[in-house]
Amino acid sequence: MDLQRPKAIYTEFKVSDRLGGVVRGKQALTTGEVAKYCGVNFRTVIRWIERGHLEAYKLPGRGDNRIPLPGFISFLQSNHMPVPDELRQHGRTLLILAEPEDLAAELASTARRAGWEPMVASDAMQFGYVFSEQQPTAVVVSSEEMVAAVNRVRRESESQDILCIVAGGDIPTGVSTDGWCRIQWPVEQKRFVGLLDLSESHTQRPV
C-alpha cells in the first residue's frame, strides 16, 4: 500500500513465520523462536548469548532475552546457516529523514516498490532513536544539514557500514569523499533504486 502523509514511523514489521505465529515489534525474537529456527534447545541459545556469539538485550522486569532480527540474521550468515525466507526482508530496511513530507512519501513509495521496508522519521531525534533500535541497511536524507546529524548518529552507534544517500531537487549528483551518494530527485529515481539493489548485493553473504 502506498503511504499518503508520513507523520512518524509508519512501518511496523510483521513477519508471518513457520512457527505458527507472527514475529512482531522492534524486529526482535525470543530465545524460544531462535531455538526453533536453529533446531536447538533454548538453553543453547542462552549459552550463545552469554558467550557473546549472539547479540541480545534484556527486557526490564523479568529480564527475558530478546534477539534483534538483524543480529540474528548476521549470526546465521556468519555460521553458514540458512536464513528463512520470511526473515530475509529484514536485510532491506531503509530509514528516511526528508523534507517536505511529499518527498519523504515519494522516496518511501519508490523503496517499497523495489522490495524494501521504508521507515520515515519526522525529525533528527526520532531518526536517532529508530536508527539505534532498527539498525537499517540504508538511510536517505534530503539536505546537507541532515548529513551532519546522521553522521553523528552513526558515530555514536558504531554503525558505519551502511548505504547513505542524499536525495533532493538541488543536490549535485555523484559520490563524495564522505561516503554519501548524492542523487537529484526525481530525475535520478532509477539510480536511487540501483543504489539500493547494489547495496543489497554487497551485503548479502552465502548461506
pLDDT score, position 91: 63
Q: Which CATH number fits domain 91-203: 3.30.450.90, 3.90.1170.30, 3.40.50.2300, 3.20.20.150?
A: 3.40.50.2300
Encoded amino acid at 140, one letter: V
pLDDT score, position 34: 95
Residues of the chain with pLDDT under 50: 1-26, 202-207
CA angle centred on 68, ends 164 and 142, rounded to 5°: 20
Contacts of 20 (CB under 8 A, 6+ apart): none
Encoded amino acid at 124, one letter: A
Sequential DSSP letters for 112-137: HHTT-EEEE-SSHHHHHHHHHHH--S
pLDDT score, position 7: 39
As annotated, the residues of the chain forming the CATH 3.40.50.2300 domain(s) are 91-203
pLDDT score, position 200: 60
Q: Give pLDDT tens digits for 77-125.
A: 888 888 787 776 556 889 999 999 999 999 999 998 988 889 999 888 8
CATH numeric code, 18-83: 1.10.10.10
Nine-digit cell string for 16: 508471518
CA angle centred on 150, ends 153 and 204, rounded to 5°: 85
As annotated, the residues of the chain forming the CATH 1.10.10.10 domain(s) are 18-83
pLDDT score, position 68: 83
